[in-house]
C-alpha cells in the first residue's frame, strides 16, 4: 500500500507550476541594495585605514623616541646623522616634477637611525666591526617596525632571512618605513643656518637645541613646512624647528607626525 505522505509530495512536485528560486526582478533589487550599501561603506573603509596608519605612525615615532632616549643614557649622546657619512648606503634620488629631490638623504637619515638602534653603527654613524650580532646592543627589535629597501620588498625579505642567522651580515639599503612606505626622517643635532658668507655657506652651526627629531611625512607623503622640502641652505635640515611649524596658519603642517626629544640637562 503506498505511503499517503509520499503520494502527496510527489504529486505536488508534478503539478506545481513554479520551481523554488528568485525572479530576475528580485535579484536586481538585491544587487541594487548591495551597491548602495557598498557606496556608503567603501569610503568609510578608506577613512578607517587612514586612521589606522596615522595611529601606527604615531606609535612608531613614540617608540623610536623612547629608544633614542635609552640610547642616550647608554652612550651619552644621541646618534649623529651626517648625510656625508661614507658608512651609509648610496641611495638613489627620485625625480618629481621637473627636478631631482634629495630623497636619497631622507632614506639615509632613516637608515642611520635604523643602524644605530640595532647596533650596527656607533654614535658617530660609523660601522662597528668585529662584534658578533648577539653582542651588539640593540634598542629596538626588528619585528616591531616595518622595513623598506631601495629595491622594494624583495630586498627586505632577503635581509629578514639574513637576520635570522646567528651572525647576519650588516644590512645595506634598508630603512625604517612609515605606513605610507616613506622613510622615517631622523635628525640630530638639529641645525640652524650655516656660518659663512651671508649665512648661506660654510660649516653648519649647532642650534641652541640639542634634541633629536623623528618625523613621518604623513598621509600626503610630503614634508609640509614653511621652508622648502629639500636639503641644503634654508631647508628643514638646517631649520632650528625642522620645519615643524605648529601655528594655526600652518594647516598643511598638521599631517606631519613627529616626536621631539628632551634636551639633555
DSSP 212: -
Q: How do residues 102-161 score in pLDDT, each as one tens digit?
A: 578 889 999 999 999 999 999 999 999 888 888 889 999 888 999 999 888 888 888 888
More confident residue, 232 or 182: 182
Give the residue, 199 or 37, on which the prediction is more confident.
37
Least confident of 10-19, 124-133, 153-162, 166-175: 10-19
What is the rounded average pLDDT for all residues in the chain? 74
**Cell numbers standing for residue 157:** 625579505
pLDDT of residue 245: 45
**Whole-number pLDDT of residue 169:** 85
Dihedral (CA of 64, 142, 53, 217) sign: positive
Q: Which three cell numbers stand for residue 35?
A: 551597491
Backbone angles phi, psi at 117, to 5 degrees: -75, -15
Grid coordinates representing 146 are: 616595518
Across 50-65, average pLDDT: 92
Distance from C-alpha of 174 to C-alpha of 163, rounded to nearest angstrom:
12
**Confidence class of residue 17 from pLDDT cuts 50, 70 and 90?**
low
The pLDDT value recorded for residue 2 is 55
pLDDT digits (tens, 9 = 90+) for 222-260: 765 544 444 444 444 444 444 444 444 444 444 667 776
Q: Parallel, antiparallel, or unpaired: how do β-strands 257-260 and 191-194 relate?
A: unpaired
* Model confidence at 206: pLDDT above 50: no
- Per-residue confidence (pLDDT) for residue 224, from 0 to 100: 58
Mean pLDDT, to the nearest integer, of 59-74? Answer: 93
* Helices of type H across the chain: 4-15, 24-75, 103-117, 153-163
Pairing of β 213-216 and β 204-206: unpaired
CA distance 47 to 158: 33
- Nearest Cα neighbor of 111 from 94, 90, 129, 133 is 90
On whether the pTM is more than 0.85, the answer is: no
69 has a pLDDT exceeding 50:
yes
> In the numeric block, which cell numbers belong to residue 195?
656660518
Amino acid at each position: 500500500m503506498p505511503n499517503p505522505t509520499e503520494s502527496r509530495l510527489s504529486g505536488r512536485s508534478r503539478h506545481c507550476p513554479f520551481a523554488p528560486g528568485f525572479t530576475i526582478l528580485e535579484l536586481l533589487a538585491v544587487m541594487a541594495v548591495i551597491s548602495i550599501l557598498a557606496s556608503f561603506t567603501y569610503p568609510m573603509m578608506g577613512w578607517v585605514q587612514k586612521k589606522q596608519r596615522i595611529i601606527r605612525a604615531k606609535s612608531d615615532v613614540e617608540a623610536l623616541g623612547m629608544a633614542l632616549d635609552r640610547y642616550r643614557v647608554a652612550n651619552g649622546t644621541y646618534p649623529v646623522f651626517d648625510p656625508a657619512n661614507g658608512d651609509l648606503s648610496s641611495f638613489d634620488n627620485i625625480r618629481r616634477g621637473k627636478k631631482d629631490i634629495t630623497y636619497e638623504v631622507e632614506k639615509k637619515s632613516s637608515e642611520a637611525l635604523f643602524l644605530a638602534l640595532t647596533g650596527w653603527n656607533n654614535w658617530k654613524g660609523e660601522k662597528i666591526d668585529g662584534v658578533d650580532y648577539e653582542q651588539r646592543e640593540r634598542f629596538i627589535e626588528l619585528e616591531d617596525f616595518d622595513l623598506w629597501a631601495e629595491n622594494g620588498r624583495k630586498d627586505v625579505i632577503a635581509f629578514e632571512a639574513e637576520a635570522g642567522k646567528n651572525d647576519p651580515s650588516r644590512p645595506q639599503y634598508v630603512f625604517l618605513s612609515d605606513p605610507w612606505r616613506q622613510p622615517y626622517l631622523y635628525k640630530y643635532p638639529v641645525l640652524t643656518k650655516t656660518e659663512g658668507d651671508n649665512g648661506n655657506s660654510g660649516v653648519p652651526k649647532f642650534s641652541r637645541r640639542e634634541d633629536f627629531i623623528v618625523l613621518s611625512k604623513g598621509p600626503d607623503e610630503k614634508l609640509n613646512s614653511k621652508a622648502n622640502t629639500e636639503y641644503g641652505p634654508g631647508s628643514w635640515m638646517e631649520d632650528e624647528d625642522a620645519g615643524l611649524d605648529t601655528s594655526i596658519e600652518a594647516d598643511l603642517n598638521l599631517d606631519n607626525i613627529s616626536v621631539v626629544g628632551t634636551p639633555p640637562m
